Amino acid sequence: MSFEMPDFTPAIPEIFILCMACFILVADLFVSDDKRVITYLMSLATLVVAAMITINLHSTETVYTFSGTYVKDAMSDVLKLFIYLITAVVFVYSRGYLSERNLFKGEFYVLGLFGVLGMMIMVSAHNFLTIYLGLELLSLCLYALVALQRDSIFASEAAMKYFVLGAIASGLLLYGMSLLYGVAGTLDITTFSNVITANNLTGGEYSTVLALGMVMVIVGIAFKLGAVPFHMWVPDIYHGAPTAVTLYIGSVPKLAAFALIMRLLVEGLGELHAQWQDILIIMAILSMGLGNIVAIAQANIKRMLAYSTISHVGFLLLGILAGTKEGYSAAMFYTIVYTIMTVGGFGMVLLLSRAGFEADKLDDYKGLNERSPWSAIMMLILMFSMAGVPPTIGFYAKFSVIEAIINVDLIWLAAIAVIFSVIGVFYYIRIIKLMYFDKPLDTSPITSTPDMRLILSLNSLAVLALGIFPGSLLAVCVAAIT
Amino acid sequence: MSDSMEQIYLAIVLAPLFGAIIAGLFGKQIGRAGAHWVTNIGVAISFILSIVVFKHIVIDAAPSFNGTVYTWLVSEGIRFEIGFLVDRLTAIMLLVVTFVSLMVHIYTIGYMHDDPGYQRFFCYISLFTFSMLMLVMANNFMQLFFGWEAVGLVSYLLIGFWYKKETAIYANLKAFLVNRVGDFGFLLGIAAILMYFNSLDYAEVFQAAPTMTQLTMEIIPGSAWSVMTVICILLFIGAMGKSAQVPLHVWLPDSMEGPTPISALIHAATMVTAGIFMVARMSPMFELSETALSVVLVIGAITALFMGLLGIVQNDIKRVVAYSTLSQLGYMTVALGASAYAAGIFHLMTHAAFKALLFLGAGSVIIAMHHEQDITKMGGLKKYLPVTYWCMLIGSLALIGFPGFSGFFSKDAIIEAVHASTIPGAGFAYLCVLLGVFVTAFYSFRMFFLVFHTKERMDEHTRSHLHEPAKIVILPLIALAIPSVVAGYYIYPLLFGGYFGDAIVVSQQHDTLAKLGESYTGIFGFMAHGLLALPFWLAMAGLLSAWYLYEKRPDIPGMIKSRAAVIYNILIRKYGFDEFNDFFFAGGARGLGRLFWNIGDVKLIDGLIVNGTAKSVGWFSARIRHLQTGYLYHYAFAMIIGLVVLVVFFVNDL
């Protein structure tokens, strides 16, 4: 057995992030509390440089390295760029919140960067084990992040729940992978898919094991996404974690989860599309239904947004289950749009919060228009976009996934999706009603750093601008799916 | 040459539009003077170019122009275009519309001088001019409909121009609704044309029309109706709305709530004649259906006589003129029904001049009287308003058809044409228009004497301020008085000289004007004949009765009123059309609406569907939120159940 030196070039961004995360971890020890901003800036710089590297390395051809366990293709590049971007935005939004709560420490950034590394690995993994590795790296970072606020019982409880449930899900995923390995005798995704096709394993004596493995894998993915009935952790963790962490958990990992689906279900188990399509249909309907209906009953905006996430996952699954290139592009578009909207939505919660005040009750949004008309209009754009009202980008996201399923003749499913999205409009517009038509309960001034205000405004305006000119982002997503 | 003419046609239409846009959108920036300059210049350009077009088409006898300017869309082979058809009919309409419009624009500078909505007013009237020009220059039904609706819209806006005045709002709503009825018929007519001809282009439709005469359709199963008759009657329903024919006339008297220049421009001279113009334009189709012509004739005759009668009991100066407009529109319609299209258009032209004159004269009186419109409170104004007096006298003489004045020629031609007509209903129509002459003379001079002669009945304050209005108001009066006198002398070329060429088609057996033309011996012969004929003596009788009853023995009208209370009441209630409409249509529609609102909207849609779903979703939401218990083992359990369910359903042979 000869050892061939692998080509490190495609993985330079990962290597860079790893080195920088370690460096920041150590460097942070030598930074005093009042100079913590150095850590923050170094983390941002890391993401910017990683983005530049990724852009430089970008090419449309698919490159495999590390004996085929790592892949770099158009989709991975696009997803990574959005991971950097959204993570950077998360860092900017959370600075004020963290420093007000004495959480402005190096750990947040180091864990955040390691999480980014985990997601990058998930995005570029081309082997069951690599996928698992990436997933675990991300998950461990997230568990720790939820528990960052050690003296908060809510945060500790949330971390505990997340950890236990996450462990179950990881176990199921790993079990599923081992069953699949047992059937095909390989962990490499392309080889696996080829073996299944070549030996026609979907119908033979191994079909039961194959199906069982597939179901387990789907459960693992569904947990990561937060699809019903594997969504239970979502509201509690979103609610219990510090808002800055919720912001992170709620947005970026969805990009990696999308890659997880693409690698495992589409590339690996593409042959079994007819079977996992039905499972995804059930989960999509349940997610859209439960997410939208229960969101109505929430009085806490973080919980409301958690249920909103669940419903968005339902829509995202629609694109996947269509099983067409167009559908995958639509799902990718939806995922990206979702992260942009969500990061803006939680960003708004952060903007309104201050020391000792979380701004996470719906009533805290009453009369926002009187307190800060600009914030109110930004929130209005974000809520309209989440509800899917044109001309915001949220409309095109919903439109493209629904179009994808109509094109595969699932018109009844499209009708269900539309009905649930109509139900969902209610709770988004309720926020707008509170902001514009009610009297404010809280009249203290809104304090925030100017950089946050700027980025948040850009965030909201991007939602509007992309809605008016959705073509470029759509084209990127279409080009990314080959 | 044709290229430069095309530019001119475009400029005629666009100049007023440009003025309207500038005055409307930038009214604040350009100020009051800016607004009236830009719109007046725009309309003046249109007027001058219309003269050029008239010279080109009529005097130089150039062939008519029919071309497309812009294709809006093509759908299943049907082209929707903006195009111009400029022939002799269009040329004369252009002249009438732009001339009256220009006069009204000038007059408005004085009349609306102190109004806060000055710029808005100019914007509207220029927009109206644009719309009306689009209508008369159209070469296809779609553009005709555009112009038709656009003038309707502007009319609506202008009747309610003083939008804080309750009666004005009522009037504009009424005008809008009544016109919807007519427009619905019109639209159905256009739809029928589209259905049977598969084209909206005039030329194509007219060419194909003769092949359609035998075609029938069954609207009510079992009875076959001639397609051509149905189309023509539907189109005529549109004309009835716009040109205020019985029973769709109810909006016109109320439209007098708008400012007087509007009454002159829109509700007397131009817009209301759109229906007349349209029927004349569609003559190749109307000629194919004698039934439709009969309908037109009878409706016109009823309008001519019975609306004139209402003018006798009105005391509001503008309403008297308004009823006279209704009656004169009836005359024009009668002419159309008798296939004397040229006479109808001729009367349209002379009427535009003298009726605009009468309205603007009435406006001048109103200004002098400080916006008092009740003629029973006027009297003896002759010595205070000499110029207005003479202008009004010319207008009134033209209206009653006094020999030598324009109205004489056009009205006499119509009466003679009806006399010569042989289609069903012609006898009735002849009787109506003859009696109408007496009635016209009577109400016109009743108003004239009550305003300018008789003893002064206004209060002292008003009297002390009576004086001739500003020059800018008087100038258009004089400018309109001239055509009111002389326009009639074009009778020969217009009616008997084949002026319209192929713009108007009259079939051999209907050609009443040709019969008149045989005995035509020149203007003076026509006048001499007129002096001996019945209509002249009827007019004189009407004039003298008015003089006797209101100037000489003012006590008699009161006596008649009490003696013939029944007739008086019928007239003062306008035959009960308004009450009937209010009760039956308005009341019925409201009742029906309330019913649907209560049952359909409140109970079914709001109660069951909207609030019902909202409530059930809310209820459901409140229940299933408790699935989220907060217990970790519940969550883990849910996951495992989910897994088990999936495995059971999706893993076969387990």
Read off the pLDDT of residues B405-464 as tens digits, 9 standing for 90 and up: 898 889 988 998 998 888 888 999 999 999 999 999 999 999 999 999 888 888 888 888
Chain A interface, mutation test: which of B609, B651, B653, B654, most A Cβ atoms within 10 Å?
B651
Judged by CB atoms closer than 8 Å, whether chains meet at B646 and A219 is answered as: yes
* Reported ipTM: 0.88
Per the structure block, which two tokens stand in for A200? 């026609």
**CA–CA separation, A94 vs A252, rounded Å?**
14
Probe site for chain B from A179, A207, A215 (most B CB atoms < 10 A) = A215
A49 Cβ contact list (under 8 Å, min separation 6): A16, A20
Q: Which of B399, B386, B393 is nearest to B353 (CA)?
A: B399
Q: Measure CA B468 to chain center.
A: 31
Cross-chain Cβ contact B630/A236 below 8 Å: yes
- B351 closest CA partner among B424, B275, B406: B406
Is A278 within 8 Å of B650 when comparing Cβ atoms?
Answer: yes
**Cβ–Cβ under 8 Å, residues B46 and B15:** yes
Closest chain B residue to the Cα of A279, Cα to Cα: B646
- pLDDT mean values, one per 10 residues, chain B (654 residues): 79 93 89 91 94 88 86 80 90 91 90 88 93 93 93 91 90 90 93 90 90 83 86 93 90 88 84 91 91 93 92 90 92 92 91 91 88 86 89 92 88 90 90 93 92 85 82 87 86 77 82 81 80 86 88 82 84 85 86 88 82 83 82 89 88 64
| A219 shares contact with chain B (CB less than 8 Å) | yes
Quick one: how many helices (H) and strands (E) in chain B? 31, 4
Test A223 with B639 for CB contact under 8 angstroms: yes
**CA–CA separation, A390 and A335 (whole Å):** 18
Question: CB within 8 A of B393, min separation 6: which ones?
Answer: B448
State the pLDDT at residue B1: 46
How far apart are the C-alpha atoms of A341 and A255, rounded to whole Å?
13
Residue type, A47: L
Do B380 and B462 touch, CB atoms closer than 8 A?
Answer: no
Closest CA of chain A from B645, distance in Å: 10
Contacts of A290 in chain B (CB under 8 A): 624
Helix, strand or coil, per DSSP, at residue A361: strand
Q: Do A219 and B639 touch (CB under 8 A)?
A: yes
Q: Do B654 and A208 touch (CB under 8 A)?
A: yes
Please tell me the distance in Å from B622's CA to the nearest CA on chain A. 6
Residues of chain B positioned with their CB less than 8 A from the CB of A211? 650-652
Query: Which CB contacts under 8 angstroms, 24+ apart, belong to B190-198?
Result: B190/B141, B190/B142, B190/B145, B190/B235, B192/B227, B192/B230, B192/B231, B192/B234, B193/B141, B193/B231, B194/B78, B194/B141, B196/B227, B196/B231, B198/B77, B198/B78
Chain B residues closer than 8 Å to A230 by CB: 638-639, 642
Q: Distance, in angstroms, between B644 CA and closest chain A CA?
A: 10
Domain residue ranges of chain A, discontinuous segments joined by + = 9-480
3-state DSSP assignment of residue B651: coil
Q: Which of A294, A420, A427 to mutate to test the interface with B (most CBs of B within 10 A)?
A: A294
Q: Using CB atoms, pick whichever of B621, B646, B653 lies closest to residue A208.
A: B653
Tokens representing residue B547 in the block: 């003089």
User: Residues near B520 by Cβ (< 8 Å), separated by ≥ 6?
Assistant: B492, B496, B526
Computed from CA positions of residues B528, B534, B537, B539, in that sequence, does the dihedral angle turn out positive or negative? Answer: negative
- CB-based contact B620 A426, cutoff 8 Å: no
Q: What is the pTM of this model?
A: 0.63
Distance from CA of A307 to the nearest CA of B (A): 10
Best mutation target among B621, B626, B640, B648 (most A Cβ atoms within 10 Å) is B621
Tokens of A300: 């806490």
| Chain B residues in contact with chain A using a Cβ-Cβ cutoff of 8 Å | 614, 617-618, 620-622, 624-625, 627-628, 630, 632, 634-636, 638-639, 641-643, 646-647, 650-654
Which chain A residue's Cα is nearest to B643? A219
Q: Is A308 helix (H, G, I), strand (E, B) or coil?
A: helix
How many alpha carbons lie under 13 Å from residue A255 in its C-beta half-sphere? 32
Inter-chain residue contact A294 with B624, CB threshold 8 Å: yes
CA distance B419 to B429: 9
With a CB cutoff of 8 Å and minimum separation 6, the contacts of B575 are B306, B310
CB contact (8 A) between residue A297 and residue B630: no
DSSP-assigned letters across all residues of B196-257: HHS--BHHHHHHHGGGGTT-EE-SSTT--EEHHHHHHHHHHHHHHHHTT-TTTTTHHHHGGG
CB contact under 8 A, A168 and B636: yes
Q: How many CB pairs under 8 A join A and B?
A: 81
Residue window 142-161, chain A: list those with CB within 8 Å of chain B. 160-161
Q: Is the distance from CB of A82 to CB of A255 less than 8 angstroms?
A: yes
Contact partners, residue B591, CB within 8 Å, separation at least 6: none
pLDDT at B504: 84
Contact across the interface for B653 and A298, Cβ inside 8 Å: no
pLDDT of residue B458: 83
Whole-number CA gyration radius for chain B: 30
Here the tokens at position B131 are 């719309």
DSSP β-bridge partners for residue B75: B78
pLDDT digits (tens, 9 = 90+) for B213-264: 888 888 778 788 889 999 999 999 999 999 999 889 899 988 888 888 888 8
Q: Backbone phi, then psi, for B335, in 5-degree steps?
A: -60, -40
Residue whose structure tokens are 């304050």? B461
On the question of a cis peptide bond just before residue B261, with omega within 30 degrees of 0, the verdict is: no
| Cβ–Cβ contact A172 with B under 8 A | yes
The answer to whether the Cβ–Cβ distance between B643 and A426 falls below 8 Å is: no
Q: At what angle do helices A393-407 and A373-387 cross, to 10 degrees?
A: 0
Closest CA to A378 of A359, A400, A352, A353: A352
CB A349 within 8 A of CB A359: yes
Chain B positions touching A165 (Cβ under 8 A) are 632, 635-636, 639
- What residues of B are in contact with residue A297 (Cβ under 8 Å)? 618, 621-622, 625
- Tokens describing residue B448: 């004239």
Chain B CB within 8 Å of residue A107 CB: no
- Across the interface, whether the CB atoms of B643 and A172 are under 8 A apart is answered yes
Residues of A in contact with B631 (CB under 8 A): none
Residue A286 with chain B: CB contacts under 8 Å = none
Q: Determine contact: A165 vs chain B, CB below 8 A.
A: yes
Instruction: Report d(CA B549, CA B539) in Å as an integer.
Output: 15
Q: H or E segment at B478?
A: helix B471-486
Nearest to A297 among B625, B632, B641 (CB): B625
User: Which chain B residues are Cβ-neighbours of A426 within 8 angstroms?
Assistant: 614, 617
Q: What helix, strand, coil percent values describe chain B, rounded to 5?
A: 80, 5, 20
Q: How far apart are CA B374 and CA B517, in angstroms?
A: 44
Q: In 3-state terms, what secondary structure has residue A451?
A: helix
A108 touches A94 (CB < 8 A): yes
Please tell me which residue of chain B has the smallest CA distance to A222.
Answer: B639
Closest residue by Cα to residue B448 from B519, B370, B344, B547: B547
Q: Mind listing the pLDDT tens digit of every residue in chain A (482 residues)?
A: 567 788 899 999 999 999 999 999 999 999 988 888 999 999 999 999 999 999 999 888 899 998 889 999 999 999 999 999 999 999 999 998 998 888 888 899 999 999 999 999 999 999 999 999 999 999 999 999 999 988 889 899 999 999 999 999 999 999 999 999 999 999 999 999 999 988 887 777 888 899 999 999 999 999 999 998 899 999 999 999 999 999 999 999 999 999 999 999 999 998 889 889 999 999 999 999 999 999 998 899 999 999 999 999 999 999 999 999 999 999 999 999 999 999 999 999 999 888 888 888 999 999 888 888 899 999 999 999 999 998 899 999 999 999 999 999 999 999 999 999 999 999 999 999 999 999 988 778 888 888 899 999 999 999 999 988 888 899 999 999 87
